[in-house]
Amino acid sequence: MYSIGIDIGTENSAAAITTIINGSMKSVIIPSGEGTPDGKTTPSYITFAGKNIYTGMPAKKMEKIYPDGTIKNFKRKIGTDYLFKTGNEFHTPQELTAILLTKIKMDAEIYLKDKIRDAVITVPAYFNDNQRNATKVAADLAGIKVKRLINEPTAAAIAYGFNQFLDERELNENVIVYDMGAGTLDVTILNIRKRTFSVLSTSGDTMLGGIEMTNALYNHLRSVFIKNNINIDSSEKIFYLKEFAEYAKIWLTYNYTISFSPSSVLSGDFTGRGNINIEITRDEFNSIIEPIIERSFRAIDEAFYKSGITKNNVNHLIFIGGPTKIPFLQNTVEKYLGIKALSGIDPMYTVAIGASIIAASKAEIREAIKTGIIFKDVTPLTLGNVIINDIVVPMIPANTRIPCSVTKPFTTVRDYQKEIVIKIVQGERPIGSYNELIGELRLTDLKPAPRGEVTIDVTYVIDRNGILRVSARDSSTGSENHIIIKKPINMDPEKIERIKSEVKKYYDSDMQIKNIAELMNNANEMLYRLKKIANFQSASGKISYYNISQDIIKLTDLIKNKDIKNLKTLIEKLKNDYNINY
């Protein structure tokens, strides 16, 4: 039985295995069963044709015949409640991913002539808890035991680490991984010290990839056709022109010009036969995609900002994904960073190879690797609790290395409160309702006690797969409950970038709301303390009960009217008058 690595891609997926051959570690890409243009990857396509289901290259070839039954790009929706429609049926992203993984597993078992024990599966660095959980669910449905999930950039660094620069025992270098697939861009900066891989920061653009390049080239071709009075007046012609745009993108990656006959292209013949009267050069192609490449610089800059290091501190550049094979992209990014990219591994297979090395290091060839691999990924977004007045208490900040855990004490807000509901959010804004609610945890049977006298320990644990477990415990009664975040929420991958951009956009207004909310919380706490003093008649002898009552009335009135300016002044005065600290 074997442990393999699997890279689930938006456009293409790949599997690899790492074994010992003649005393040396060797990684091999497991070929797709029916073959693809390069014979190794599996297109992430699924076609439903009546009672038959086609996966991979057969599905991609049938897209023209069954356009309404063919589904692609479903990786972008994993972990959401989005449904794909084919005919009268609906399919979840998890179901589709499971079908794809079943195909990959079957091909691997045929190629290896043995069963698959388990797999290390890669995910984008920006995947949230629900997307990671959904990926594991899909693997379970496919009958694949997940040894662990690993971020794609980390897998790529591990692949290059073993092949090129891990022999140095005192290694301490920084690596930037530029991962552009069909649908997304991830930029990750790692530090590799000896055999420890630590993620310093991640950034990206979940709507920037090879698809955007293909669309830009399609729009250019369409305008060329229209200028030449060539009609694109049917869905079939549009389909073929889009297919040709993808074909031309790949062709111009390896060649300097592409010549074609418009009539042949619009009938599905890309071989160049017919009256060739249109030519596109690589220089034209470069001009078309240049704005798309330059958009990626924002993600690079953000990654450096969050990592705390500069371009001068980076030792290596690694490219991942099919679009990074484009010479103009390579040259442009290398020039922007001031370093040359590492070479030797096909960018299409780097991630799968890295995952297979992790799988191997945990299985039968661990001794051959001699020293285990340690790698530390980070959380893409902040996780926290929502407390009274919609304020977020951060529990695990963004860019925290995982696995990790944290425990913080909380308390009740009402006398003799019987239960507490913990709202768990993911996001970067200080106001709870402006973040994504990813779960709720209810703790009952609390100790009967006045407000503030019950301590509830809330613990967040993120395991090495990036899965979140939240627990709460009443330290007095021992009452305890927990939740594992599994229920999908309406968060598309592209929303992550929106969340991060909104932090700066709404910073001033958010802080104003937060400051007011905190002031109201302080005011209510002061009111509670004053009432307690009045009830037990334990004020200082210099201050009469009448004065306390007047202060309570005044404070209550200011709270009711949300008189922020006077509230702040009164609270400070009351703290001094009654020697109250909290």
Whole-number pLDDT of residue 365? 44
Half-sphere exposure of 218 (CA within 13 A, CB side): 19
Q: Is the Cβ–Cβ distance between 322 and 210 less than 8 Å?
A: yes
Whole-number pLDDT of residue 116? 93
Whole-number pLDDT of residue 13? 94
**pTM, 2 dp:** 0.63
Whole-number pLDDT of residue 24? 65
Whole-number pLDDT of residue 252? 93
Give Cβ neighbours of residue 367 (< 8 Å, ≥ 6 apart): none
Look at the block and give the residue holding tokens 């009267």. Answer: 277
Angle at alpha carbon of residue 436, lines to 434 and 439, rounded to 5°: 130
Look at the block and give the residue holding tokens 């992209």. Answer: 329
Phi, psi of 525 (to 5 degrees): -65, -40
Containing H/E element for 223? helix 210-227
Whole-number pLDDT of residue 495? 57
Q: Is the Cβ–Cβ distance between 249 and 285 less than 8 Å?
A: yes
Look at the block and give the residue holding tokens 């797999």. Answer: 119
Question: Measured between alpha carbons, how far is residue 453 from residues 416, 417, 444, 447, 474 in Å?
Answer: 9, 10, 16, 9, 11
Going residue by residue through the chain, which has 582 residues, state the pLDDT in tens, using 9 for 90 and above. 889 999 999 889 999 998 866 656 788 899 887 765 555 789 999 999 988 999 999 999 888 888 899 999 899 899 988 999 998 899 999 999 999 999 999 999 999 999 998 999 999 877 888 899 999 999 999 999 999 999 888 898 888 875 444 444 456 889 999 999 887 888 999 888 766 777 888 888 878 899 999 999 999 999 988 888 888 888 888 888 998 999 999 999 989 999 888 888 888 777 665 566 788 999 999 999 999 999 999 999 999 998 889 999 999 999 998 899 999 999 999 999 999 998 878 888 999 999 998 888 644 444 444 444 455 667 778 899 998 888 899 999 887 878 788 888 898 888 889 899 999 998 888 889 988 888 899 999 898 988 888 889 999 988 877 788 899 999 888 889 988 875 433 344 455 566 667 766 777 777 888 888 888 888 888 888 888 777 765 444 545 667 788 888 888 888 888 888 888 888 888 888 777 776
Whole-number pLDDT of residue 213? 96
CATH class of the structural domain 2-208+291-377: alpha beta
Look at the block and give the residue holding tokens 């692949």. Answer: 159
User: Which superfamily is assigned to 383-490 in CATH?
Assistant: Substrate Binding Domain Of DNAk; Chain A, domain 1 (2.60.34.10)
Q: Is the Cβ–Cβ distance between 18 and 99 less than 8 Å?
A: no
Whole-number pLDDT of residue 275? 63
Whole-number pLDDT of residue 369? 44
Q: Is the Cβ–Cβ distance between 30 and 108 less than 8 Å?
A: yes
Q: What is the dihedral of CA 35, 41, 43, 44, to 10 degrees?
A: 140
